[in-house]
A = this chain, B = another copy of it.
């Protein structure tokens, strides 16, 4: 299994390779990627060894093939069905981010416990009452639950998503959530990033 730090670097390579493809560049070596992204060239070769691709001596990797293999390996080539719980400011924002589709995330519905939102549509997607999470997720065969509710509701929402059969939770709240071992949890606390930024700016 690929180690997480390597996995996190692959999207950098993908982004760079996409730029090269748009410029009609045909081949790229790990040395070139290294120069551009400031990652050690041997590290890059090692990271890419997890993919089913071989570079040619002195020429490097075929740009289009590398892009394809990276997208495939990263799971961006197929759609993963997801719901968002908490259709307020951040949740609503994510529902309208069409960029997510390009990275394999298909958001099919939102949930909210605000009675005024339930039953409406937001950016073309239906918004249901949060009390319907379990049955709706089962019915729609949802794999990923995205949580953008206030922190105090995060754990109970996660519990219901898991009861509804989701295999992964993408937690945007700044609170930690407990999940069974077979459920993947990914924390994206954008506010923690802000804190780090402010703190370093002081210096």
Stretch at the interface among A72-80, A110-118, A133-141, A157-165: A72-80
B-facing mask of A73-102, CB < 8 A → 1, else 0?
011100010000000011011101111100
Interfacial chain B residues near A11, Cβ < 8 Å: 174, 189, 191-192, 195
Which range contains the number of A residues in contact with the other chain? 35 or more
Which of A15-23, A40-48, A53-61, A124-132 sits within the interface?
A15-23
Judged by DSSP, the binding face of A is: helix
Closest to A176 in B: B37
Q: Is the CB of A75 within 8 A of B178?
A: no
Binding site for B on A (CB under 8 A): 1-2, 4, 7-8, 10-12, 14-16, 18-19, 22, 37-38, 74-76, 80, 89-90, 92-94, 96-100, 103-105, 143-144, 151-152, 167-168, 170, 173-176, 178, 184, 186, 188-203
